[in-house]
């Protein structure tokens, strides 16, 4: 029983060490950096034409399987 526990404990400890070394725990945004992140150029939806075209392409491909509630052939011609 103890040998099984050790075999399980070693990989879990290794995963914990690797997770600690990746830096995910230290990614803090400082108060003076929040203004830069809130800028208009950082928004993903700042270009409405690009968003409309991306949605059209995506939902034209996915329409044959339901897409966004549009039942079509998936060719994008509707």
What is the tens place of the pLDDT at every residue in 11-56?
A: 788 877 777 676 655 667 788 888 887 888 888 888 889 888 888 8
pTM over 0.75: no
Length of the chain: 78
CB atoms within 10 A of CB 55: 12
Phi (first) and psi of residue 60, to 5 degrees:
-70, -35
pLDDT band at 75; cut points 50, 70, 90: low
Question: So what's the pLDDT on residue 62?
Answer: 67
| Token couple for 63 | 């329409």
Helical (H) or strand (E) element with 46: none
CB atoms within 10 A of CB 61: 13
């Amino acid at each position: 029983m103890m040998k099984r526990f050790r075999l399980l404990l070693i990989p879990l400890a290794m995963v914990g060490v690797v997770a600690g070394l990746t830096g995910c725990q230290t990614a803090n945004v400082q108060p003076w950096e929040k203004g830069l992140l809130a800028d208009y150029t950082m928004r993903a939806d700042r270009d409405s034409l690009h968003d409309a075209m991306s949605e059209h392409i995506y939902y034209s491909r996915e329409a044959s399987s339901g897409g966004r509630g549009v039942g079509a052939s998936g060719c994008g011609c509707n």
